[in-house]
Structures are given as structure tokens and as C-alpha cells.
Amino acid sequence: SYDLTQPPSVSVSPGQTATITCSGDELGAKFAYWYQQKSNQSPLLIIYEDNKRPSGIPERFSGSNSANIVTLTITGTQAMDEADYYCQAWHNNALVFGGGTKLTVL
Amino acid sequence: QVQLEESGPGLVKPSETLSLTCSVSSGSITSDYWSWIRQPPGKGLEWIGYISYSGTTDYNPSLKSRSTISLDTSKNQFSLRLSSVTAGDTAVYFCARHTTLTLFGVASAGGMDVWGQGTTVTVSS
């Protein structure tokens, strides 16, 4: 099976930059997607095709894909950004999620 | 704006079949790609499978033998059936719509830009 690996948790101070990574074999050759899930809510697509933001997603969210690691960066993190974040990719026609990263804004 | 709503029994007995429906409003089921995803209590997201506008399906290999996703174009709905359920199938079940990714003229499912609110299914006798 194909695995995407994320750190279980990341902490950041308000106003600082948060970085969440996602690694997987040959991930650089795939498109990556990122979702934000706040407590008791449905996931929200925040980055698609590595680095594109859907309409309505703040500019402080950005994505990149290099080699086997994709990165979600939140610049000027706000308290409202505290949530679980999941990366996602396709592998052999199967959709795979990373295990999720809990972002804490201290 | 497309909206999705899951419906179905909240309680299913072990060994029985879980059946859920996702109703699509303000959009057509005959376009796009549609997925089912689940989230066990306190855990991460798990993709179950998807169906395309043309009825093509793909499933998570770990659930493929027990999963069936189908379209009902007359009702603008798609459905999930998961057979032989156990307590391990207890989860919040979401339906979602995919963006369409077109590469070299070939369309495929991308990320999921519209989600239902989720429905809780408990497997217990």
C-alpha cells in the first residue's frame, strides 16, 4: 500500500510561520492536496494541485512540492488556523490521505 | 453552489450491510466525480471509494471486497453499501465532490472541494 507520512503535531505561536510536511514515495511526480478540519466539522480543501488556493482561502496558506515532500505553509498563523491538516494524493487510481497533523497555535 | 447531504441509519448490527445515500443539490450527479470517506472516532480520514459521472468506480483496496458505490441519476444521488460490518466500521461517513483534473486531454478526479456534513454510523448489536 502507498503511505503518506505527516508529523502528528506541530505547534506555532500566533503571527509566526507554521510548516507541515507530507512525505511519500515519488510524491514529487503526483499532485498533492491539503485539507483543514476543525473540530466537529467537515474537511475543507485549502490547497489543490500542489500550490493552488481555492476561492476564499486566505493567501497565508501556500503549498509546495519538491522531490518526495510536499509542504503546507501558513504565514502569519492565526488562532483560527488551529485544526487538523491532511495531505492527499492519488496512487494507482486510489486516493490516499496522510495520517493528519494537529496544528496548535500557542 | 453544490450541496451534499448524507442520510441513512445511524445504527447497524454487526455482520449486516451499511447503506448510505448522498443527495446532491444545486448540481448534477451526471457530471464530476463523487467519493465516500469515513473517519473513525478520534482518528484520521480514510477514503472508501469514488464513482465517476459515467459510473466508473474505484475503491480503497482494503475495503474493495465489501464496498459498492452506485449512482441514481433519477434522484440525483449516489450511494454506498458496505457489507459484513464490524465495530471497526463505526465512523463518521462523509460524501464529497471532486474537482476535475485534466492532463493531456484526459480527465480524472482531483481533490474534494465540496463535502457533506457527515453522518455518524455506529456498528453495535
A2 touches chain B (CB under 8 A): no
CA nearest to B62 within chain A: A1
Name the residue type at position A105: V
pLDDT digits (tens, 9 = 90+) for B55-81: 999 999 999 999 999 999 999 999 999
A40 touches chain B (CB under 8 A): no
Closest-CA distance of chain B to residue A56, Å:
12
Judged by CB atoms closer than 8 Å, whether chains meet at A45 and B58 is answered as: no
Out of A1, A31, A88, the one facing B101 most closely (by C-beta) is A31
- Residues A30 and A96: their CA atoms lie apart, in Å, by 12
Q: Give chain B's end-to-end CA distance (angstroms, integer).
A: 39
pLDDT digits (tens, 9 = 90+) for A16-72: 999 999 999 999 889 999 999 999 999 999 999 999 999 999 999 999 999 899 999
Determine the residue among A4, A38, A45, A84 to mutate to test chain B binding: the one whose Cβ has the most chain B Cβ atoms within 10 Å: A45
Q: Which grid coordinates are listed for B22?
A: 448522498
User: What pLDDT is recorded for position B100?
Assistant: 86
